[in-house]
């Protein structure tokens, strides 16, 4: 353990902080978090977090979700500017205008959207439960699925349910192409390919398994294969290698490089996380009105997902 990690753990204890980290966080943060997981797991952990504050190591919309499900808790982030290109692709005012022009739609929003968009939604989903959530929407309602058209397309493939798709995407997952994945697959014929549903249909078609980041851990653990090509943000490899040191994990390459890094996730550093605990800032603040309006669709998801 590095001296900075030791300092972080001492501060975490002193400030009675609960540290939640997404699977895409840098390795040195994952190693000292109380919980590392996907968006769905992080929402449950945030809901039941006790302690004096939550330090959320992930991106802004995830920390917003933590605040909405546990509003009495102070929520800190290492860097409040850590956003998400996918959440940015659906501005709240654009959605409002669309819904005014197209009344009656049932809005299923992927958790990668702002609190102001969640506040206009009927139910939220994550990549871990999207299929299940869409399956619970009354048959007679037309669904608008937002903001990720690739995840939406995957849910359509899985459920056969027609949905209108918002035209958004994640810039990281869009960089994986059928040719880059086909090439690495041919170089490692023994390896299984696991891909995130934010990848395009052409990339997903080359995968042995398409699933959320958390389900990737379970898939690899239960597989008899020894090597895996992981087609998602590269932070995922730290989690997989930590839990399965005896297996080989190969980063899915893009056409340009083997990086696959989310620049927003990587805005959080251990040094910033230490500072956040020392100063108990920056704090994520949401208006009471947005919290109230966004809570119902999130709680509906947590409820539908549990049952
Ligand atoms: P998960 O919900 O699978 O953790 O994915 C979150 C995300 O931001 C994917 O890009
Ligand atoms: Fe957003 Fe993509 Fe980064 Fe996930 S990987 S946080 S969807 S920009």
From CA 120, how far away is CA 107, in angstroms rounded? 8
117 pocket-lining for ligand 2 (C-beta < 6 Å): no
Residue 196 pLDDT exceeds 80: yes
Nearest ligand 1 atom to alpha carbon 111 = 2
Q: Is residue 49 classed exposed, middle or buried when 0-12, 13-18 and 19+ CB atoms within 10 A define those classes?
A: buried
The tokens describing 126, both together, are: 């994550």
pLDDT band with cut points at 50, 70 and 90 for residue 154: very high
Residue 20: strand pairing partners: 35, 56
Residue 279 pLDDT exceeds 90: yes
The tokens describing 24, both together, are: 């895409």
Contacts of 10 (CB under 8 A, 6+ apart): none
169 pocket-lining for ligand 1 (C-beta < 6 Å): no
The tokens describing 200, both together, are: 């395009």
**Ligand 2 center–CA 121 separation, angstroms:** 20
Summary mean pLDDT of the chain: 95
Residue 192 pLDDT exceeds 70: yes
pLDDT band with cut points at 50, 70 and 90 for residue 258: low
Q: How many CB atoms lie within 10 A of CB 6?
A: 11
Residue 242 pLDDT exceeds 70: yes
- Among left, alpha and beta (phi > 0; psi -120 to 50; other), residue 158 is alpha
Residue 268 has a pLDDT of 97
pLDDT band with cut points at 50, 70 and 90 for residue 229: very high
The tokens describing 224, both together, are: 């008899």
pTM of the model: 0.93
Q: Is residue 160 classed exposed, middle or buried when 0-12, 13-18 and 19+ CB atoms within 10 A define those classes?
A: exposed
Nearest CA to ligand 2 atom 1: 84
The percentage of the chain sitting over the pLDDT mark of 90, rounded to a whole number, equals: 93
212 pocket-lining for ligand 1 (C-beta < 6 Å): yes
Helix H or strand E segment including 30: helix 27-30
Nearest CA to ligand 1 atom 1: 38
As a whole number of Å, the end-to-end CA separation of the chain is 40
State mean pLDDT over 166-178: 96
From CA 123, how far away is CA 144, in angstroms rounded? 11
From CA 67, how far away is CA 95, in angstroms rounded? 22
Nearest ligand 1 atom to alpha carbon 232 = 10
State mean pLDDT over 150-154: 98
User: Helices (H) and strands (E) in the chain — how many of each?
Assistant: 15, 12
Say which DSSP state 71 is in.
Answer: T
For 13-44, how does the pLDDT look when each residue is reduced to its tens digit (9 = 90+)? 999 999 999 999 999 999 999 999 988 889 88
**Ligand 2 center–CA 30 separation, angstroms:** 17
Helix H or strand E segment including 55: strand 53-57
Residue 249 has a pLDDT of 97
The tokens describing 253, both together, are: 């390459």
For 72-118, how does the pLDDT look when each residue is reduced to its tens digit (9 = 90+)? 999 999 999 999 999 999 999 999 999 999 999 999 999 999 999 99
Nearest ligand 1 atom to alpha carbon 42 = 4
């Amino acid at each position: 353990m590095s001296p900075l990690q030791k300092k972080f753990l001492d501060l975490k204890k002193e400030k009675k902080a609960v540290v939640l980290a997404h699977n895409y966080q840098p390795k040195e943060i994952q190693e000292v978090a109380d919980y590392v997981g996907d968006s769905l797991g992080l929402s449950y952990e945030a809901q039941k977090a006790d302690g004096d504050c939550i330090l959320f190591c992930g991106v802004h919309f995830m920390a917003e979700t933590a605040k909405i499900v546990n509003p009495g808790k102070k929520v800190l982030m290492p860097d409040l500017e850590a956003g998400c290109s996918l959440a940015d692709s659906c501005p709240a005012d654009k959605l409002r205008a669309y819904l005014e022009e197209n009344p009656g739609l049932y809005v299923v929003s992927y958790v990668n959207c702002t609190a102001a968009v969640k506040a206009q939604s009927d139910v939220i989903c994550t990549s871990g439960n999207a299929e299940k959530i869409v399956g619970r929407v009354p048959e007679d309602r037309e669904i608008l699925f937002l903001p990720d058209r690739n995840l939406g397309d995957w849910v359509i493939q899985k459920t056969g349910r027609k949905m209108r798709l918002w035209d958004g995407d994640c810039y990281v997952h869009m960089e994986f192409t059928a040719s880059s994945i086909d090439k690495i697959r041919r170089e490692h014929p023994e390896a299984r390919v696991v891909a995130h549903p934010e990848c395009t249909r052409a990339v997903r078609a080359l995968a042995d398994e398409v699933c959320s980041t958390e389900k990737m851990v379970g898939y690899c653990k239960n597989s008899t294969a020894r090597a895996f090509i992981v087609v998602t943000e590269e932070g995922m490899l730290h989690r997989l290698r930590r839990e399965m040191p005896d297996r080989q994990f190969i980063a899915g390459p893009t056409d340009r490089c083997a990086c696959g890094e989310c620049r927003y996730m990587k805005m959080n550093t251990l040094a910033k996380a230490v500072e956040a605990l020392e100063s108990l800032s920056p704090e994520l603040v949401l208006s009471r009105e947005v919290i109230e309006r966004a809570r119902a669709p999130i709680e509906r998801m947590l409820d539908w997902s549990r049952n």
